[in-house]
């Protein structure tokens, strides 16, 4: 578990919250959808709050995509 700033988690636009909400509805639309999601904090200084989160994801065994969400 890692600290995510409110502006990243609840903000508008290209924010983690919006990305996560779009994924949340997919199993409802198609229960057979297979999803792989890997969220990793990026904290080179070893502090309590990561500078960014890197998200790698794929659907139904397809290509893996990467998103980076700045946590500043």
pLDDT, tens digit (0-9, with 9 covering 90-100), for 33-48: 888 999 999 988 887 8
User: What is the pLDDT, as a whole number, of residue 11?
Assistant: 63
Residue 72 · residue 36 · CB < 8 Å: no
pTM as predicted: 0.76
Distance, in Å, from the CA atom of 9 to the CA atom of 38, rounded to the nearest integer, reads: 17
Distance, in Å, from the CA atom of 42 to the CA atom of 22, rounded to the nearest integer, reads: 23
**CB atoms < 10 A from the CB of 69, how many?**
20
Distance, in Å, from the CA atom of 53 to the CA atom of 2, rounded to the nearest integer, reads: 9
């Amino acid at each position: 578990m890692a600290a995510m700033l409110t502006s990243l988690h609840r903000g508008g636009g290209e924010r983690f919250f919006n990305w996560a909400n779009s994924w949340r509805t997919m199993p409802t639309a198609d229960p057979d959808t297979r999803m792989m999601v890997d969220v990793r904090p990026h904290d080179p200084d070893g502090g309590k709050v990561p500078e960014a989160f890197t998200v790698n994801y794929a659907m139904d065994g397809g290509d893996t995509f990467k998103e980076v969400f700045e946590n500043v």
